[in-house]
A and B are shown apart, each in its own frame.
Chain A
Amino acid sequence: MSDPNCIVFMVDDDPLVRDSVADLLDSAGFEVRTFGSATEFVQSKRPDLSACLILDVELPGLSGLDLQAELANSGVEMPIIFLTGHGDIPMSVRAMKRGAVEFLTKPFRKQELLEAVQEALRRDSEGRLQRSETSELRKRLRTLTPREHQVLALVVTGLLNKQIAGELGTTEETIKVHRGRVMSKMGAGSLAELVRMAEKLKVSA
């Protein structure tokens, strides 16, 4: 199935392989953009679409795994499908541990690749969704005052207002007020929701 809102990126230094894989994906209805090296990819301007990355492990300069690490470091959560001519077990384990979608050895079957791409795109969509949600939440979080932040952190731990007041050295009343403001700023309908939000935002006391 082809989704016009998706794009598949491919990085491989071997032009034949690049072209062949791109063509294969193209014939399967995917939008593909290819790059000759990791650096090229990093420097490119990427459209804001669901995307996944097919990455050759053995790349000159910045290797595939390096790129994976770098993307992770720079917060780019793009699902990666690794391709390798080597088939080294430790390598694949490392890649998977770091969150790769798939680790394929060349030569691979078309089916293997397509399934992996689909999975990857799906993950990316999901991820994007998740991220946008989280960014909204984060926006809301930023509206909180520091006191409200503190209250939030303690509320989601399950503490009673009275306890929280005691913790913070203020009255329960004050706490109740803060709590109310937090709930409304965050847009949480219930405590459970707030907790879920806090989890997502990784808020801690």
Chain B
Amino acid sequence: MDVQPGDVAEEIRRLQRCINDLVSLFALPAMWSGGEPSQIVDTLLDALLRMLQLDLVYVRLRDSGGQAPIEMVRFAPSQERTAQERTAQERTAQERTAQPHEIGEVLKHWLGANPQEWPPLMRNPIGGRDLSIVPLGLGLQGEIGEVVAASERADFPRQTERLILSVAANQVSIGLQGARLLSEQKHVASELDRRVAQRTRELAKANEELQLQVGLLQHIPVAAWTLGPDGTPDFVNQNWLEYTGQALDYIRSDPEAWMTAIHPEDREMASSSFWGGVRSGQGFTFEARFRRVYDGAYRWHLSRAVVLRDAEGAILRFVGTSTDIDDLKQSQDDLRRADERTRLIIETALDAVVTMNSQGQITSWNKQAEITFGWSCAEATGRHMADMIIPEQHRTAHELGLRRFLETGEGPILRRRIEIIAVRRGGAEFPVELEVVPVRLRHDWVFSAFIRDITESKLAEEKLRANELHLRRMTETIPEMLWSATAEGAIDYCNTRVLDYTGFSAEELMGDGWIKLLHTDDVDQAARLWMSCVTTGAPYRVEVRTFRLADRMYRWCVRSALPLLDQQGRIVKWYGTVVDMHDWKQAQEDLRNTQAELAHVNRVMTMGELTASIAHEVNQPLSAIIASGDSCSAWLSNDPPNLDKARAATSRIIQAATQASEIVQRLRALFKKTTSMTASVDMNAVIEDTISLVHHEADRNKIFLRTELYPGVPSVSGDRVQLQQVILNLAMNGIESIAGLDHEPKRLMIRSTLSNTGELLVSVEDTGLGIEAEHADRLFAPFFTTKPQGIGMGLPICRSIIEAHGGRLWAVKNEPSGAVFHFALPVTAPVALPAALPVTGPSE
């Protein structure tokens, strides 16, 4: 190299400048004390830029402490302007990142590598010209960062510049290290401060909280307490103290002192729980019986303690409560027992009770299910219900059904009793009654199935059906007309006999169609009676004329029915018959006619016995007539004629004739074959009429005839002729009985009175031969007589007449001898009984 004097002066100037710069650089750290790294770098950059007239200087600081590396760049002012200009143009097109970053990007390729490896030249990202770069590491090993100085001068870097750069780098390193240290120190200090502050805050807060808690604890209505980390109670609230009766000092004296309040049986468990919780620092929970000092009762408590830790996790305290759960436990017990009971009920239920979840798996299986299906509970639980109890052919349907329900909420077999075929272990199928009840449990469904094996009841049903069939066959074969009706009175069955007899079809007769069978006059009564019987359950019996197809006539039939009652006495059904009694009724009528004839014959015969009396009766007025006639003509033949006497005679004739005709009339009535006529009959008059017929007979036989007729006797409803016949018969019998006597008394007495049951009582009393014991029971029997010419129908006819009038006829012995025949008849109107009986004299 050629050295020029100008060059030497330039050189000297440069060297002076360099020394000045160096001095400045040595002074830098003083400026940097207490400074931030960025500030330091800033200063460096400025200094370097100025000193060396760089175009670009870039610093990158590696971070310490996990932060991002700091990058800074300085451009020469000219560069700046260009950059600015440039960037203004480019701004719109690009996203601007921090300029240092850009440089960093460019340099990145070489950053981190050994500075010696760096190329000497680099393109200026801003100007576009080449830059000579000088990278320098900061820190002894370049661990702090890098500084890159760049210039467009070709002679950059000169040795002096190099020197300045390295000194600057060293200074900066020192400065940065110092700053770093300072910053670290500061950091630690502040960190410490922060920590202390936090701690203090925490402690204060904890204390505050504690105070609060204590305050709360004091007031909460449970026994509450706090324990130190070693388990010693340090606070016990009033509630506890009052409950247990323990004193605070006592409790604090020993960690286990408070345990004396626990029931001896529970102490060991409580103690181990307690210490376990304290020592492990996890707190504890146990249930034990605590003694309530108020009544000495031991009551269940739940004691719980939770741990309070500080920021470091050290145990501050245990805070706990003891809650009286005795009632809860009681109800828990009750609940448990109820549960147990429920479980037992389900277990012992006669139905198999199986529950299933929404997946179709069996979740419970009671004892009856075990018996019914032959699977034990263990075998069944968890398995698919379909597999266990549903026959194979129906399983798919079951699955589909289940799914459908879960989707739609509808299920045709749910909540109803249905009959299906189930299968038991071994594959045997059998009929069951099933009811499935879905229950919603939170978000899912549970199904309860109640299953009853109805094999037996189905058998019984079969048997019943067979029985019914048998019964039906029977009712169709029995040669009687049978029918049945519902409890409401609607006919539901007629056997074929009914249909054959009436010619109606079954449909026509059902319900109340049976009315069509009856004669119109009988429908009303029959229907009314039927309705009444259906309501009251009384036996039904009615005589009605029913239509018979064979001769298209209505015939008298007896319809009768009886109800069938269940065990509670309610009517279940009516069973009835229809019996054709037309012929019988006819026969009855014929009998009645015959009886009437017989009665007539009897009357005639009785009359026959009375011929003498009758003759006498008639002869009396006759002789009066003739005598009067004779005397009348005699008086008229007198000279002069005695007209008065003649007239008197004439009137006697008329009187007598009238009397005679009355007698004849009376007799005629008795002789007539009259049909029964009902009217109001005065018995006393009847008795007196009879007396007039028999009194001559009585006189002839020297029999004293007497009547005692109660004057107020009420009338009876009946046939006068027939009733007279009775009295006549009885009187004649009495007279005949006495006639044979040859000693006194010879007395016949006819009485009428009112019995104390309100009936009319007539008695015919004689003192005759009486009734012989051996004849006593045959007295009223037909064809029994002791009379040689008697036919023995008198008394039977009398009895049948009296009974037809609703009365009764009987005979008793008379004292000292003879017989009394009584008959009683119902009166037409009630009459009060008199105080005493009047007595009438002997009859005329």
Contact = CB atoms under 8 A, between A and B. Distances in A.
- Same complex: yes
Interface of A: 13-14, 16-17, 19-21, 23-24, 26-28, 57-61, 63, 66, 83-88, 105-110, 113
B676 interface: no
B842 interface: yes
B765 interface: no
B799 interface: no
Interface of B: 612, 615-617, 619-628, 630-631, 634-635, 638, 642, 645, 648-649, 652, 655-656, 659, 695-696, 699-700, 702, 704, 842, 844
B699 A16 contact: no
A60 B699 contact: yes
A60 B612 CA distance: 17
Nearest to A105: B619
Contacts of B695: 60
A1 to B, nearest CB: 14
A108 B623 contact: yes
Given A19-B652, A110-B626, A110-B631, 7 more contacts: A17-B623, A23-B628, A27-B631, A28-B634, A88-B700, A105-B619, A107-B627
A16 B622 contact: no
Contacts of B648: 23
Contact of B631 (A24, A66, A107): A24
Given A20-B656, A107-B622, A85 B630 contact: no
A100 B197 CA distance: 179
A16 B620 contact: yes
A83 B631 CA distance: 18
Contacts of A110: 626-627, 630-631, 634
Contacts of B702: 63, 66
Contacts of A23: 627-628, 631, 645, 648-649, 652
10 contacts: A13-B844, A16-B624, A16-B659, A27-B630, A84-B616, A86-B616, A86-B696, A88-B700, A108-B627, A110-B626
Contacts of B634: 24, 27-28, 110
Given A86-B615, A107-B619, A20 B649 contact: yes
Contacts of B649: 20, 23
Contacts of A58: 616, 696, 699-700
A20 B623 contact: yes
Nearest to A87: B615
Contacts of A24: 627-628, 630-631, 634
B631 A16 contact: no
B633 to A, nearest CB: 9
Contacts of B616: 58, 84-86
B152 to A, nearest CB: 197
Nearest to A17: B624
B612 A86 contact: yes
Contacts of A57: 700
Q: Give the 5 A-B CB pairs with smallest separation, nearest first.
A: A85-B616, A106-B623, A27-B634, A107-B623, A20-B627
Identify which of A13, A27, A63 gathers the most chain B CB atoms within 10 Å of its CB.
A27
B657 to A, nearest CB: 10
Contacts of A14: 620, 624
Contacts of B645: 23, 26-27
A105 B623 CA distance: 9
Contact of B619 (A21, A59, A106): A106
A20 B622 contact: no
A20 B616 CA distance: 17
A24 B630 CA distance: 7
Contact of A27 (B615, B622, B635, B704): B635
Contacts of B659: 16
B647 to A, nearest CB: 11
A88 B611 CA distance: 12
Contacts of A87: 615
B612 A88 contact: yes
A159 B626 CA distance: 61
A60 B652 contact: no
A81 to B, nearest CB: 13
A13 B617 CA distance: 13
A84 B617 CA distance: 11
A86 B701 CA distance: 12
A114 to B, nearest CB: 9
Identify which of B627, B634, B645, B656 gathers the most chain A CB atoms within 10 Å of its CB.
B627
Identify which of A21, A23, A26, A110 gathers the most chain B CB atoms within 10 Å of its CB.
A23
Given A87-B615, A107-B622, A16 B842 contact: no
Identify which of B624, B638, B656 gathers the most chain A CB atoms within 10 Å of its CB.
B624
A85 B617 contact: yes
Contacts of B635: 27
Contacts of A16: 620-621, 624, 652, 655-656, 659
A5 to B, nearest CB: 22
Contacts of B655: 16
A16 B700 CA distance: 20
A20 B621 CA distance: 10
A28 B642 CA distance: 13
A106 B656 contact: no
A20 B622 CA distance: 11
A63 B697 CA distance: 12
Nearest to B702: A63
Given A16-B652, A58-B700, A107-B622, A21 B627 contact: yes
B620 A60 contact: no
A88 B613 CA distance: 11
Contacts of B625: 20, 107
A85 B631 contact: no
Contacts of A106: 619-620, 622-623
Contacts of A27: 630-631, 634-635, 638, 642, 645
Contacts of A86: 612, 615-616, 619, 696, 700
B140 to A, nearest CB: 189
Contact of A20 (B619, B642, B652): B652
Contacts of A88: 612, 700
B828 to A, nearest CB: 34
A162 to B, nearest CB: 54
Identify which of B615, B620, B648, B704 gathers the most chain A CB atoms within 10 Å of its CB.
B620
B522 to A, nearest CB: 57
Nearest to B656: A16
Contacts of B699: 58-60, 63
Contacts of B652: 16, 19-20, 23
A20 B699 CA distance: 22
A106 B660 CA distance: 13
Nearest to A62: B702
Identify which of B638, B702, B704 gathers the most chain A CB atoms within 10 Å of its CB.
B702
B364 to A, nearest CB: 112
Nearest to B642: A27
Contacts of B842: 60-61
A64 to B, nearest CB: 9
Nearest to A12: B620
A109 B626 contact: yes
Contacts of A21: 623, 627
